Amino acid sequence: MYYWLFRLFPKSAFSRMMGWFADRAWSPRILRLVIRFYVWFYEIDMREFALPIASYSTFTEFFTRPVRPDSRPVLSDPRMLASPVDGAVSEAGTIRKGRLIQAKGRDYSLELLLGGDPGWKSYENGQFATLYLSPRDYHRIHAPCAGSVRRFRYVPGELWTVGPAGVKGVPGLFSRSERLVTFLATEFGEVAVVAVGATIVGRIRVVYHSLTSNRPGASPLAETLSEPFPLAKGSELGRFELGSTVILLTRPGEVELHPLRPGDPVRMGSPIGRVL
């Protein structure tokens, strides 16, 4: 039902309009009231964050608020993979015949998810974890391990909701949504971090490039950086400006993800897998 109701809705244009509002410098009094209502409604513990409510001049600044480092300790063991985000597991498992599970009875193409990247087959029989960020969650993305970004792919697409309605109702949701794929080269191999955009603003930003997603007339981009961009484990990789989902991909024989079930909570910096 959700799919048929919203397939013709101008999701990208609507999200850009909402982004314009979120970026405006409102009256400080009104903004504080809106933020306080948001915090109350979603039961956000502001003690975990670095700045108080009065510090933000736009809603976007609040939404991308930084956490206090001591509230998200990153495990130091180099043989352990850390969760790149706060959120909850949507699905997790093994990549079989080039397909990933979206929800019960639905799967989608790994090749399409990675925007046709020539290395997509190397993830066959590897593992994936789809991590959903709700409106209450911390919305920055961090490196799950130490490594360097050497290439990435940006794939323009649609901006459906990535909540339960979208996951259950939209065929091939993650392979048709706007997304930015970061390939992280590591000492043990490679990890792919797929940031998926969603309705309401839908912007994705990364620290290693000036690209911003959800732009009118955007074209696909596959780029190799002139110099690898190093990232320490737990350092910021990017952020969502309202939305969404991160899909973590590992290759066979390199990493084993912990057993993860739909609904399991994850927290940035906590263990999510181990290097083989």
Active site residue 175: no
Percentage with pLDDT > 90 across the chain: 72
For position 201, what pLDDT does the model report? Answer: 64
pLDDT at 181 over 80: yes
For position 144, what pLDDT does the model report? Answer: 97
For position 96, what pLDDT does the model report? Answer: 95
Catalytic residue among 15, 142, 175, 213: 142
* pLDDT average, residue stretch 30-40: 94
Element housing 246 (H / E): strand 245-250
pLDDT at 9 over 70: no
Instruction: Say how far apart CA 185 and CA 180 lie, in whole Å.
Output: 16
The domain ranges of the chain are: 12-63, 72-275
Interval 207-251: pLDDT, tens:
999 988 878 778 899 999 999 999 999 999 999 987 789 999 999
Q: What is the DSSP string of 117-140?
A: -TTGGGGTT-EEEEEE--TTS--E
Catalytic residue among 86, 137, 175, 177: 86
pTM of the complete model: 0.93
Active site residue 142: yes
CA dihedral 168→176→94→126, nearest 10 degrees, is: -160
Interval 128-154: pLDDT, tens:
999 999 989 999 999 999 999 999 999
Active site residue 86: yes
